[in-house]
Each structure stands twice: as structure tokens, then as C-alpha cells.
Amino acid sequence: MTEPLPSAHLFTHEELSQRELSSAEQVDHLVARRGAVDSSGPGLNTLIELNPEAMTIAMELDAEVRDGVTRGPLHGLTIAVKDNIDTADAMLTTAGSLALADTRPSRDAALISRLRAAGLVVLGKANMSEWANLRSPHSTSGWSARGGLTRNPWDPMRSAGGSSSGSAAAVAAGVAPLAVGTETDGSIICPASYNGVVGIKPTVGLLSTVGIIPVSHSQDAPGPMARSVRLVAALLDAMAGTDHFLTACEDVNIAGVRVGVVRDHFGAHTGADAVTEKAIDALATTGAVIVDPVPAVAFPEPNNDEDDQALAVLLHEFQHGLTAYLSTRPPGGPRTLAEIVAFNHTNADAELTWFGQEYLERAALLPGLDSSAYQTARANTLRMAREDGLDAVFGAHEVDVLVSPAFPPAPVNDLVLGDSVGPGGECTTASAIAGYPILSVPIGFVHGLPVGLAITGPANSEQMLLRVARALEAQLGLLDAGALVPPTL
């Protein structure tokens, strides 16, 4: 089997721009690597399709290097892009749905334009949970009608998480050194934790969502995923058009940084809790001030989906945003959510084999964003997440970041019963509704499966999150020891 490329083969430790492989050599190797793990071998299904123009673009970028031109530290590197992000090329953008497979976007998403300008090569489209897991309460993360089921590189019988399943699995399996995911609530943090990679959902609004198939305008954000904190920081700079995120994470001195431990988010899995305790001890060793405990942000438990205000916000915004997005697509595809629902019924053998489309059907019937039901739900959830929630915790306890286990180890895949409904992952909800940043960094293993530490901050605190994550990464030494490469691949 074609071996993965360790980070050291792509960049020196000192400087990302000093690479040992040309862009064309990387593309050639990674295409072979994808064939070895997706099309044969363990059948991970990380990428739905490859970009047929990748080699041509790579050769053009190599020519620029020979002429003494580089566009930034990531010039010539390859990247996998989630299948809900528009690319105006030979590839499709479908959010995993066959309903969008007959048309191609007419222009790049705003962030894709940024990535191309930074000299990155889009290697292919990453598989995802269809419609970003907002199709049915009985869905299986990582499955889409177009891409099949993405599997976890650490154990193909286990979940790759969702909805940015293929993005995380591609990085972990060595199919791409960089990937872009998107998150509404947990869709970067969950697969990052399950697959043993670094992922950050930045503050909502930091990065443009123009040209991204939407779920929720108040919660959606694209974010970078990679094996190291430095690569994530460099990619976030490329996506934002900035130059300070990589610089920030080079400062590993976090002495005096106040870290709040959210004990209410422990208890989902004893093994993950134990690994998290060691990570907190490692943070203390760096000189960080550990504030233990601080309270979790509490939300009332809804009686059912109809009583769930957070879900109501998502469904109203999904119906509104998707209609606007579909109007930007070329003729020949659906223009409304109702047409997508009808398409799935007509093509039930392909689309509805494993689970239904209850959320799509419910969203299609909702009124606009001027309805009192939506406005009340949004105001209530925002107040609970921000003023009475995270803002109150950060202020009352004078902490810079919050930490807790991100998710338990990855569960076993089950297309028949859908995702397991066990505890864990509560760390993402408050930050999702508030629109605040959250990061997952690998901290260890439970029975050979990686687990991550969730690090949450107030609005626009990405530099602090990256500093803390980089300091912890250096202290734990997992990356330098090569422990984050799945041994079975």
C-alpha cells in the first residue's frame, strides 16, 4: 500500500515553505494514496472525487517557484474541500445529495478564491454527512447518497464522525495534508476528535460563507483541519487573508493563561476523562493557571423536537438560506427545499434506504425568518448561550479559555440504527449558538482510538486557542513521536 507522507516530508519543522517535495510530486503521491485507502484496501471513502485539474495546477505552481515566486507558506500544497463548498471547476458540489448532482456551481466560494490565491491545489471533494446531518434524527454520520459511508482510518468499523467526515479522515489517512470542513454544531470538532486531527471552528463571520451550501447563517462557519496546530493556523491565515494566526501559535509560552475546566462535560467515557486529566496536568506544567471547576452553560432539555428551540432556529434558517443558495445554481437542478424532498421520494432506493428526511420535510413547511416562532427561539437561545452563558462564565471566573473532553472515542458504524445516542459532545452547543470559536486537538488514545481536547474561547479569540493548543501539543509530544499516524494504514 502507498505509504502516507509524514508532515516532515512536506515541510521542515522550522518553516512551512521549505518543502522537500514539489507540488506535482505531492499530487502524484496523494492520488495514489487515495486509491490505496479509498478505492481499495480499507475502503475509507474519504474523497468523493478527485480534481482532474489538480496536476496541471500543481505544475503551474511549481513553475512559479522556479521563477522565484511564492504566494505564501502553503504555496503548492494540496487540500481536500468538503462537498458543500462551491468550486467552479470540473467537480460537483452536492452536500452529498444526488439532487444536486446534475449541475455545477458557476463560481468559486469566496474561501476557495482565497485558497487558490494562496497557492493551494484543491485535490478533491471530501465526503460528508448528507445535508450536514440535518436530514433526519436517525441519520448515520459520514454517510451520503453520493459518497457512501466514510470510515475511520484508526478502525474502519468505527465512525469518522460528521458532518466533516471525509475532511478529517483524509487528513488522518494521509490522503491530504490539509482539509476544509464546515461546522454548525460539532461538525468539525467531532470528526477532528474521532480521527485524531486538529480542527477549529472560528468565530462565525470571520470567514465568508458565500458559496457554501448553508444550514444556519447564525451558526455556520468553515474551518481548517490538519494533523498539526501550526498547519491549521497557517491554513486559517490563508482562508482569512491574514498573517497572524501562524505567528500566534509559534508563541508556546502560556504561563498565566487562565484555563477553566468544565467538569460538567466529563463523565461520558472514563477513558476519555482519564486522558483529559493528563492533558490538564500538561497544561499546568506549562504555567497555565488551571481554574477547576467552572460551570457548563445549561440549556433546558426539550420534551421533543417540536419543543427544541435550538433546532427550530436551524430549520428556519436552513429553509431560508438554502432557497437563496439554490437560486445561485445554474438551471437544471432544484430551486426549493420542497423540490429536494420530492426528488428524494422519487429516488428513494438511493436516497432513503437507510434513514428518512424528517428534518427536510419539516423545514420545507416553515414560514420565513420574520415569524415570531423563529425570532423568539433565536432571541432565547442566543441569550442563554451568550449573556447568561459563555459571557457569564468567562467573566465571573476570569478565564481565557474553557477545556473539556471533546467527544468519547469513535463508536461503531451502524447504518441500520443510525448514530448512537450516548452522552458526550455537549461542549459544542453553547459555542455553536453563540457563534464563538472552538478547537479540538488530539491528546491521546483510548484502546487505540484517538480523543481530543475541546478548547473554547470568547468571540475572536482564535489566536489564544491556537497558542494554548500548540503549547499542549508540544508538551504532549504525540505529533513529534509520529503517534498520530493510524498504524493500520
Of the candidates 432, 391, 403, the one whose C-alpha atom is nearest the C-alpha of residue 221 is 432
Whole-number Å distance between alpha carbons of 189 and 226: 12
The confidence score (pLDDT) of residue 11 equals 57
The confidence score (pLDDT) of residue 6 equals 59
Q: Which member of 23, 163, 164, 167 is catalytic?
A: 163
Give SS3 for 82. strand
pTM above 0.75, yes or no: yes
In this structure, the strands spanning 151-152 and 178-183 are unpaired
| 47 Cβ contact partners less than 8 Å away, ≥ 6 residues apart | 34, 38, 80, 123, 124, 125, 126, 127, 166, 170, 175, 176
The confidence score (pLDDT) of residue 18 equals 61
CATH for the stretch 7-299+385-476:
3.90.1300.10
Is 163 tagged catalytic? Answer: yes
Instruction: Give domain limits for the chain.
Output: 7-299+385-476
Q: Which member of 82, 125, 139, 461 is catalytic?
A: 82
| 448, HSE (Cβ side, Cα atoms, 13 Å) | 9
Whole-number Å distance between alpha carbons of 146 and 235: 27
Residues of the chain with pLDDT under 50: none
Q: Which member of 187, 218, 431, 461 is catalytic?
A: 187
Is 228 tagged catalytic? Answer: no
Whole-number Å distance between alpha carbons of 348 and 350: 5
Residue 464 is which amino acid? M
The confidence score (pLDDT) of residue 305 equals 76
The confidence score (pLDDT) of residue 488 equals 65
Whole-number Å distance between alpha carbons of 202 and 181: 11
- How buried is 301 (Cβ within 10 angstroms: 0-12 exposed, 13-18 middle, 19+ buried)? exposed
The confidence score (pLDDT) of residue 147 equals 98
Whole-number Å distance between alpha carbons of 420 and 41: 26
